[in-house]
Chains A and B, each alone.
Chain A
Amino acid sequence: MLEAINVSIALPDRSQKSLFGRAPLLKIIQNVDLTVQRGKVVGIVGESGSGKSTIGRSLLGLYRPVTGKVMLEGKDLASLSKEELREARFKIQMIFQDSQSSLNPRRKIIDILADPFVANGRASRSDARNKALALLERVGMRPAHGDRYPHQLSGGQRQRIGIARAIALEPSYIVADEIVSGLDVSVQAQVLALLRQLRAENSLGMVFISHDLSVVRTLCDDVVVMQHGRVVEAGECTRVFNDPRNDYTKKLLRAVPLPVVEKDWLDESRRCDSEAVTELPSAVAAMR
């Protein structure tokens, strides 16, 4: 189990930095609780500035919480020594939003995928190469792609490499930060299908950070809704999406444009009707 218990995180606010002295700390997230079980996908949704990426990175021990703690299988990440943290991190990996900057532009794909084995003494050079080729295949790419450089791949392909690297050391948990936000729907569907498949095969616990409620709805078991650094609502997806209790969650759900024609969707009067979203499935049924 990977948990965040009452985590608050403050980061220096560079925009307020004076010429001398340190930048003042700005609370990015406050008192956030989050639990990820193996085999489950937890979605974190929120708009820009809600702190959803920050909580994701703090789960990896990249930020030290001001209050609260991040627990990995019963151990507080902050209490670990540098070496223990290094070991613990093998259990949690990350997939990044920007597939371009997450891959070293000067290394070939095959090396990027073989490095995790070599660097940690898990395999010899040639062994690592074979493992890297196996990873390529698992994420649906051809061995020939291994000889390319990241900029020679498409965005969707690069994102697959990011996924392959994240699962290389067989982690128990993965944090995926907005990994489909730059992709076309057709490519997005492929990447999401891959995630689903991996999660089933490895009983991975996954944190899926996204601003896209539709994607979260289709992929996740649980969802956490964040606003201004706080959790405003959390629970099973089915419950939160069908019966949102928080006003902000309701507002968010209402604002999502479904690919369904509704002439009055933009009307102010309709926006006050909190039943709208839950009624939609029947609206779809009527159209068919």
Chain B
Amino acid sequence: MNLTRYVDTAFANPKLLIGGLGLAIIAAIALAAPLLPLQDPLDQSLFAQNLPPFWLPGHDASYLLGTDSLGRDLLSRLVWGARPVLIVMVLGAALSGVVGVIVGLVSGYLGGGSDAVLSRIIEVFMAFPPMLLAIVLVAVVGPGLYAVVISIALIGWTRFARVVRAEVLVLREQDFITAAHLLGYRWFRILFQELLPNIIPMVLALLALEMGRAIVVEAILAFIGFSTSDMATWGGILADGRNYIYQAWWIMTLPIFAITLSVLTLSLLADGLRLALDPVIRR
């Protein structure tokens, strides 16, 4: 395939293009944070509290997007805040994906007793409010980034498991699986060659969505003070801004904007992936 065809394909699916680019930008900002000429995101300044961003009167040129209630530079905090987002997004989604896909595959493919047990476990997990699981987990592990990652996995794996199981149940009844049995294929070939390729596109789309959810869960846990406290987080800025909405509304607006944009990007990516990988829709 040559370059122009790649370009054509990309423009034929703008959702995938925008989503993919957006994800790349988030990753790039997170990785490049230490290299950028920014103030220390943790540096406090009592003389520069709740400063507005550059387009509002009363701003300070050295704080482009203003400061929070402790006088920390908001631009810098936003950029550095992308780092925990990246960690949590990748690890959280990957962990939920791996656990969920394995459970879903086993449950759907083996059926019978193991399916009954696994389905029940999924149901039990879904009977808890997700936030409750996260809170209890933080109570066990203690606040921090890894507690956040595990919380995300604890909440997210059921989504993968349910969808994958349902899909495997449908695929299992298709004639091409019967044909595979008749041709003497062994279970690993049936699982990895016949079933898995039919599930992967959906799993990829779910992963993109899950990454978006991971960002939100991280923000929530940081917002209620259960995430890491030695890094700048978007949720942390939110929590700070929540206390000053009437005096300095921009503090909360900035991270909301960042989170919203990232989540939208990832949901576009999910839609784009679904479109791009479906052999029938694609033509």
Residue numbers of A with Cβ under 8 A of B are 60, 62, 86-87, 89-90, 92-94, 96, 98, 101-107, 115-116, 119-120, 149, 151, 165, 168-169
Q: With A104-B176, A104-B194, A105-B279 in contact, do A115 and B185 touch (Cβ < 8 Å)?
A: yes
Q: Is the CB of B175 within 8 A of A102?
A: yes
B9 on the A face (CB < 8 A): no
Q: Is the CB of B179 within 8 A of A94?
A: yes
User: Could you say which of B179, B186, B193, B280 contacts A96, with CB atoms under 8 Å apart?
Assistant: B179
Q: Is the CB of B185 within 8 A of A90?
A: no
Q: Which B residues are in CB contact (< 8 Å) with A165?
A: 179, 183
Taking the closest CB of chain B, its distance from the CB of A196, in whole angstroms, is: 23
Q: With A106-B197, A106-B198, A151-B280 in contact, do A101 and B174 touch (Cβ < 8 Å)?
A: yes
**Distance of A60 Cα from B175 Cα, bound (Å):** 14
Taking the closest CB of chain A, its distance from the CB of B164, in whole angstroms, is: 16
Q: Is the CB of A105 within 8 A of B280?
A: yes
13 new A-B contacts, CB < 8 A, other than A89-B184, A93-B182, A120-B184, are A62-B181, A89-B183, A90-B183, A98-B175, A101-B175, A102-B178, A104-B198, A105-B280, A115-B193, A119-B185, A151-B279, A165-B183, A168-B183
**Distance of A105 Cα from B167 Cα, bound (Å):** 14
Q: Which A residues are in CB contact (< 8 Å) with B174?
A: 101-102
Q: Is the CB of B178 within 8 A of A62?
A: yes
The 10 closest A-B pairs by CB, nearest first: A102-B175, A106-B197, A96-B175, A101-B174, A104-B176, A116-B183, A101-B175, A86-B184, A119-B185, A102-B176
Centre residue among B176, B197, B280 by max chain A CB count within 10 A = B176
**Distance of A149 Cα from B197 Cα, bound (Å):** 13
Residue numbers of B with Cβ under 8 A of A are 174-176, 178-179, 181-186, 189, 193-194, 197-198, 279-280
**Distance of A151 Cα from B194 Cα, bound (Å):** 16
Q: With A94-B178, A104-B194 in contact, do A120 and B183 touch (Cβ < 8 Å)?
A: yes
Taking the closest CB of chain A, its distance from the CB of B192, in whole angstroms, is: 12
Taking the closest CB of chain B, its distance from the CB of A164, in whole angstroms, is: 12
Q: Which A residues are in CB contact (< 8 Å) with B279?
A: 105-106, 149, 151
Q: Which B residues are in CB contact (< 8 Å) with A115?
A: 183, 185, 189, 193
**Distance of A59 Cα from B282 Cα, bound (Å):** 39
Q: Is the CB of A102 within 8 A of B280?
A: no
**Distance of A282 Cα from B186 Cα, bound (Å):** 56
In the complex formed, the residue of B with least CB distance to A104 is: B176
Q: Which A residues are in CB contact (< 8 Å) with B179?
A: 94, 96, 102, 165
Q: Which B residues are in CB contact (< 8 Å) with A90?
A: 183-184
**Distance of A108 Cα from B106 Cα, bound (Å):** 26
In the complex formed, the residue of B with least CB distance to A97 is: B175
Taking the closest CB of chain A, its distance from the CB of B120, in whole angstroms, is: 14
**Distance of A96 Cα from B181 Cα, bound (Å):** 14
Enumerate 13 A-B pairs (CB-CB under 8 Å) in ascending A order. A89-B182, A89-B183, A94-B178, A96-B179, A98-B175, A101-B176, A102-B176, A104-B197, A106-B197, A106-B279, A119-B185, A120-B183, A168-B183
**Distance of A19 Cα from B179 Cα, bound (Å):** 32
**Distance of A102 Cα from B280 Cα, bound (Å):** 15
Q: Which B residues are in CB contact (< 8 Å) with A94?
A: 178-179, 182
Taking the closest CB of chain B, its distance from the CB of A102, in whole angstroms, is: 4
Q: Which B residues are in CB contact (< 8 Å) with A107?
A: 193, 197
In the complex formed, the residue of A with least CB distance to B190 is: A119
User: Could you say which of A62, A98, A119, A151 contacts B183, with CB atoms under 8 Å apart?
Assistant: A119
Centre residue among A92, A115, A151 by max chain B CB count within 10 A = A115
Q: Is the CB of B186 within 8 A of A103?
A: no
Q: Which A residues are in CB contact (< 8 Å) with B186?
A: 119
In the complex formed, the residue of B with least CB distance to A96 is: B175
Taking the closest CB of chain B, its distance from the CB of A35, in whole angstroms, is: 21
Taking the closest CB of chain A, its distance from the CB of B173, in whole angstroms, is: 9
In the complex formed, the residue of A with least CB distance to B176 is: A104
Taking the closest CB of chain A, its distance from the CB of B187, in whole angstroms, is: 11
Q: Is the CB of B182 within 8 A of A119?
A: no
User: Could you say which of B184, B197, B198, B280 contacts A119, with CB atoms under 8 Å apart?
Assistant: B184
**Distance of A94 Cα from B183 Cα, bound (Å):** 9
In the complex formed, the residue of A with least CB distance to B278 is: A105
Q: With A101-B176, A104-B176, A151-B279 in contact, do A60 and B184 touch (Cβ < 8 Å)?
A: no
Taking the closest CB of chain B, its distance from the CB of A101, in whole angstroms, is: 5
Q: Which A residues are in CB contact (< 8 Å) with B193?
A: 107, 115
